[in-house]
């Protein structure tokens, strides 16, 4: 929980549609896909209830300037590794452990299987729990849950939709760019 309870958010355009970014004193706390008005309202409501803070829309936010800059660089292909302060308060326990391992251990252009990631955090056999952790990732793109795929080569699920997952993996050179 942030001491002064201020969470600032803004919606930015990206190659995968509008993203809602929210940041606290501690760092980037949330990235939300497909941030159309109804999605935005729901996301802001969840931030309010889960962080106990009143989220403030702030387009010129100094807190959001660096996340916005780095995401733009990522989508343009010039940034391969995010170096942002992250606020992990929207995740805990096993999910947080898995997401931190993913952020630290699966670089741009690489993918990992759900089962492999479970093994890395010392929970072999917890592939389904890893899938659930990916589904609850509050920081997609920055914490790259799109890099977690099925061992048989299937894409697996994705909170932002499979089309979004495909685009991100194509951007990173893991999948061929779609022809149209």
What amino acid positions are annotated as catalytic residues? 145
Structure tokens at 13: 């355009």
Could you give the 3-state DSSP secondary structure of residue 46? helix
How far, in Å, are 46, 89, 121 from residue 66 at the CA level?
Answer: 23, 20, 30
> 110 near 147, Cβ under 8 Å?
yes
In DSSP terms, 149 is beta-bridged to 113
Could you give the 3-state DSSP secondary structure of residue 165? helix
Q: What's 34's DSSP letter? A: S
Could you give the 3-state DSSP secondary structure of residue 64? helix
Structure tokens at 58: 């702030």
Could you give the 3-state DSSP secondary structure of residue 114? helix
> 43 near 20, Cβ under 8 Å?
yes
Return the biggest CA–CA distance within the chain: 49
């Amino acid at each position: 929980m942030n001491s002064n309870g201020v969470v600032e958010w803004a919606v930015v355009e990206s190659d995968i549609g509008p993203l809602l970014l929210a940041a606290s004193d501690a760092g980037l706390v949330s990235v939300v896909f497909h941030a159309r008005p109804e999605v935005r309202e729901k996301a802001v409501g969840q931030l309010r209830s889960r962080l106990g803070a009143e989220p403030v829309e702030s387009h010129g936010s100094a807190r959001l300037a660096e996340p916005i800059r780095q995401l733009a660089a990522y989508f343009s292909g010039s940034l391969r590794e995010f170096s942002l302060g992250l606020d992990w308060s929207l995740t805990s326990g096993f999910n947080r452990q898995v997401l931190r391992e993913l952020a630290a251990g699966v670089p741009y252009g690489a993918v990992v299987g759900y089962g492999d990631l479970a093994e890395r955090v010392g929970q072999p056999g917890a592939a389904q729990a890893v899938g659930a952790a990916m589904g609850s990732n509050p920081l997609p793109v920055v914490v790259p849950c799109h890099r977690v795929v099925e061992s048989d080569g299937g894409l697996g699920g994705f909170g932002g939709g499979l089309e979004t997952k495909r685009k991100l993996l194509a951007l990173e050179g893991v999948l061929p760019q779609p022809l149209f």
